[in-house]
Amino acid sequence: MNADTAYHGKKGEHFAVASADHVYNAHTDRPAMLRLAGDVTGLSVLDLGCGAGHYAVELAERGAGRIVGVDGSESMLGIARERLGDRAELHLHDLEEPLDFLPDASFDLALMALVYHHVDAREQLLAGIRRALRPGGALLVSTTHPTADWQYFEGSYHAHDRVEFPIGDGHTITYWRMSLEQFIGELLGAGFVLEELAEPRSTEAGRQVDARRYEKTHNRPTFLAVRLRRP
Ligand SMILES: C[S@@+](CC[C@H](N)C(=O)[O-])C[C@H]1O[C@@H](n2cnc3c(N)ncnc32)[C@H](O)[C@@H]1O
């Protein structure tokens, strides 16, 4: 039985508000991933673990042609639906299950921002993404930085186990911590080619929001973001 890791109910509502202008999400992870995305004009984009649609809104504003968002949380999708209207197709779906509803070779770009590490069935998920991407299409993945997890949770750097992490207001999330070798190895093992790896730091705008966390992202590893190509 897989863990039910989608951010249901109040947890989703809390994360949607907290991440809208948070240094870690709005000013560190998102700018880095959107830079890795490059020019999205006219592209068909698959946003896996789309949450409240923070990425989808940006992609729509940058001229993406078709945006398909997938998430396992009704509360998150409800917020995304309100914000996006008919600018995105949204699907309620557990990423532990196959992506059979997506046609073959139908996307130019797939992104998974801070969701991959939640999933148990990652091999199946990557195979589904590979099938849904057209040859030459790109996959962007961001995750918690392995050394940040090691510092926080301690124990062995090479530990590959589920951990629990507080996200405020009494909510916790659970995800797999893994070494860099494990993370990159899974993506390459699924047949993707690594094109770029980033260790994002907050943009200048984040300093105004929260100077302490801004400094933290400039001194300590926080997230990893990679761009891969489907050959
Ligand atoms: C950290 S949030 C990131 C949301 C969005 N990508 C962003 O950056 O704003 C993780 C998201 O993954 C979703 N999620 C986690 N596990 C999932 C699963 N098994 N199936 C579908 N969605 C899942 C959660 O509901 C949540 O929306």
Q: Ligand 1 mean position to 118 CA, how many Å? A: 8
What type of residue sits at position 79? I
Q: Which atom of ligand 1 is nearest to the CA of 5?
A: 16
d(C-alpha 187, C-alpha 178), whole Å: 13
Instruction: Kindly report, residue by residue over 98-145, the tens digit of the pLDDT.
Output: 999 999 999 999 999 999 999 999 999 999 999 999 999 999 999 999
d(C-alpha 88, C-alpha 103), whole Å: 17
d(C-alpha 112, C-alpha 47), whole Å: 6
Can you tell me whether residue 77 is helix, strand or coil?
helix
Per-residue pLDDT, averaged over 84-102, amounts to 98
Contact 54, 20 (CB under 8 A): yes
Contact 126, 186 (CB under 8 A): yes
The share of the chain scoring above pLDDT 90, in percent, equals 99
Among 84, 18, 14, 23, which Cα is nearest to 50's? 84
* Tokens encoding 62: 């940058």
Please check the confidence at residue 13 and state whether its pLDDT lies above 80: yes
Bridging pattern class, strands 107-113 and 44-48? parallel
Q: Ligand 1 mean position to 15 CA, how many Å? A: 10
Query: What's the pLDDT at 18?
Result: 95
Residue whose CA lies nearest to ligand 1 atom number 17: 6
Question: pTM of the full predicted structure?
Answer: 0.98
Mutate to test the pocket of ligand 1, among 83, 115, 165 (most ligand atoms within 8 A of CB): 115
Query: What's the pLDDT at 67?
Result: 98
* Tokens encoding 4: 């039910």
Instruction: Kindly report, residue by residue over 182-199, the tens digit of the pLDDT.
Output: 999 999 999 999 999 999
| Residue found under tokens 């990652």 | 122
Pocket residues: Cβ below 6 A from ligand 1: 5-7, 12, 15, 19, 25, 49-51, 54-55, 71-73, 76, 94-96, 113-115, 118-119
Q: How many alpha carbons lie under 13 Å from residue 192 in its C-beta half-sphere?
A: 31
Query: What's the pLDDT at 222?
Result: 97
Quickly state the pLDDT bin for 3 (edges 50, 70, 90): confident
Please check the confidence at residue 1 and state whether its pLDDT lies above 70: no
Q: Ligand 1 mean position to 182 CA, how many Å? A: 21
d(C-alpha 185, C-alpha 180), whole Å: 8
Contact 41, 64 (CB under 8 A): yes
Instruction: Kindly report, residue by residue over 26-84, the tens digit of the pLDDT.
Output: 999 999 999 999 999 999 999 999 999 999 999 999 999 999 999 999 999 999 999 99
Q: Which atom of ligand 1 is nearest to the CA of 25?
A: 8
Q: Which atom of ligand 1 is nearest to the CA of 7?
A: 25
Which residues face 174 on adjacent strands?
Answer: 164
Q: Ligand 1 mean position to 84 CA, how many Å? A: 17
